[in-house]
Every structure is written in structure tokens, then in C-alpha cells.
Amino acid sequence: MVASLAFFAFGLGYALFSFVIAVVFRDEVLADMLSTTTSGPVATLWYVAVSVVLVPVWAVWAELRRGKDVRRAIGNVALVVAAILALHLGFTLFKTTMPAIVPYYADPYLAAFDAWLHANSDPWAVINRVVGPETMLGLAPLYHGPWLIAAFLFPVILVACDDDEARIKRYFLLYCASWVVIGNVLALGGMSVGPVFFDRFYDSSRFGLMTLTHRFAGVESTTLGALQEYLWQMSSAGRESFGTGISAFASVHVSVATVVALYCGERSALLAVPAALLCGAILLLSIWSGYHYAADGYVSVGVMALLWAFLRRRFEPAGLLPAFRGRVSGDLYRANR
């Protein structure tokens, strides 16, 4: 409960901070917030809406099964859900304000670095050649399916499945960092629109082959293509709602998937493999779809892995492996009885 309170306090503070930043750098922020409604692809909106209802209900049930009273179980889950809503409101406000703080400039450098890093080839083209557009299109629902549950509801699942307060605290911190550090702090340092919007924004044909490849593969008729067009329309019109705003570097999709993979690997060897495969699929999709440069994903994985290692050292008792921590605590308790 203490970790949930701290998470809520951070989410609320972050939302207020982002609102102040938006007011400083933009006009009529409050009017935009009140007049703009989420109008993305219907299938995605229903998926999110159903998940937001069902997952917290399941979390309360899981808390009750672990012996918590009804008020405590409902209060804890409600606090976490409120924290998530505040966090994502703050993220949207900050992300849609970032171009007013630092104009887009980094795409030519990121595109050139990507090509240099992959033997003078664009990484999306390498994936297209090795994996194939049909396979990538078949994996595309993962990008806006299971990932959305992790993006919005991982903290709820965390409190429902874990009794280790220290681990819950660590992963709340990692979850917040995957949005704020990756999606705001690093993003401000490398403001970019990504390959899929490169040609429209810079009036070029640099990624014309990628656009043609997506068109022939049928991306435009999928949820992935609809969401890309929706993001461009909202950005061009200067409108905002949950999930809008364009910034490529670094990848929040990959950072969130990395946090989930790290948690699954820490909890169970059986969960580690599918979680790692999902993270790998999200990385490949982020590149092939044109949402991100490969460097965006690589940086996200590296930063989150380093933060995870730092927090493990920070919160774990010195010299003890996690598997032995509970045993040692039990021995000390029995010795002092």
C-alpha cells in the first residue's frame, strides 16, 4: 500500500508538472483538454476500455484471495488505477508540448546513424528481407494488443500478483522511468518524427521505399496503419488526446516491453522466454513499421536494463540473492522469538 501511495503521488505530481509546462509553452491548453476527445480506431478503443474494466476487477479478486479485506483490496487497486490515469495524462500533456520546447531536428542524424550501424542498410529493410512483410504484418497486432495491456495496466497486474513490497516499488519506478525518462527526458534530447513520418515532415523521399512496401503489404488497412494516420492527423491539427503526440527517439513501446520482460524473467523461468520473445517482436515491429529507428529501441533496452540493475543493487539486501532473502528473514524471526 505504501508503494501504491508513492506511485499515486508521483503520477499526480507529474500530471500537474506537465500541465504547467504545457501552459507555459502552448496556448489554450485547458480548452484543448476539455474539447478534444479520443477518436482513434474503434477496435483499439474498445480493447483498451474492456481491459481497463476487467483487469482491475481481476486484481481486486486476486487481492481478496490473498487474504486482504475488501476495503483494502479495492482501495489499493483504485489507487494504482488513478496513478496510471494521472501518469498518462501527464505524459500526453508533456509529449504534445515537446515540439514547442525543442523543434524536431534529429531525424537525418538518426537515419544516417541507423544505416551506418547496419552496414549501410536501413534496418527496416533488413527485417523486411530476412523476416518478410507477411510475417511482420501477422505480428503487428502484438504492437497494439498485448502491449497496450502492459502499457496501461502493468502496475495493476503487479500489485495483484506480487506480495514483495520492495519488488513492487522497484517496478513502479521502472514503469515510470519507461515513460518519463525514455519518453520525455531522452525524447527532448533527440526530437524526431520517425521514418514513417520522415518524408511528410521533411518533404523528402528518403523512406519512399518503406512507404511503398507498407502499401503493398496492406498496412494501410490494418489497425497499425490507421493509428499511424490518426497520429499524423492529430499532430498536424495541433490536437491532443490520450496516446497522441509524435516522438521517435527513444522508444516507449520497447522500454515498456523491456520492463515486462525483466519482471517476468525475475519471477519465473517459464515466463522469461515468452516475455523476451514479445519484447523482441515489439522491437522488430517498432523498426519495420517505421515508428522508430533501430537506435531508438536499442537505447531503450540499454537504459532500462541499466536502471533495473541499479535498482536491484539499491533495494536488495547486500550480499543476498533474492531467493534466500525470505529464508533469512524467516530464520531471524524464529531466532528472536
CA distance 69 to 334: 27
Predicted confidence at residue 215, as pLDDT, reads: 94
Predicted confidence at residue 218, as pLDDT, reads: 93
Predicted confidence at residue 208, as pLDDT, reads: 96
Predicted confidence at residue 291, as pLDDT, reads: 96
Query: pLDDT tens digits, the chain, 337 residues: what are they?
Result: 788 899 999 999 999 999 999 999 987 776 666 555 555 555 555 555 556 677 777 677 777 777 777 777 788 888 899 999 999 999 989 999 999 999 999 999 999 999 999 999 999 999 999 999 999 999 999 998 888 888 888 999 998 888 898 999 999 999 999 999 999 999 999 999 999 999 999 999 999 999 999 999 999 988 889 889 988 888 887 766 666 789 999 999 999 999 999 999 999 989 999 999 999 999 999 999 999 999 999 999 999 999 999 999 887 654 444 444 444 444 444 444 4
**b/e string for 269-303 if b means 16 or more Cβ within 10 A?**
eeebeebbebbebbbbbbbbbbbbbbbbbbbbbeb
Predicted confidence at residue 21, as pLDDT, reads: 94
Predicted confidence at residue 235, as pLDDT, reads: 83
31 — phi, psi (to 5°)?
A: -65, -40
CA distance 330 to 168: 20
CA distance 241 to 55: 23
Q: What are the structural domain ranges in the chain?
A: 2-335
> Are the beta carbons of 75 and 159 closer than 8 angstroms?
no
SS3 of the chain: CHHHHHHHHHHHHHHHHHHHHHHHHCCCHHHHHHHCCCCCCHHHHHHHHHHHHHHHHHHHHHHHHCCCCHHHHHHHHHHHHHHHHHHHHHHHHHHHHHHHHCCCCCHHHHHHHHHHHCCCCCHHHHHHHHCCHHHHHHHHHHHHCHHHHHHHHHHHHHHHHCCCHHHHHHHHHHHHHHHHHHHHHHHHHCCCCCHHHHHHHHCCCCCHHHHHHHHHHCHHHCHHHHHHHHHHHHHHHCCCCCCCCCCCCCCHHHHHHHHHHHHHHHHCHHHHHHHHHHHHHHHHHHHHCCCCCHHHHHHHHHHHHHHHHHHHHHHCCCCCCHHHHHHHHHHHHHHCC
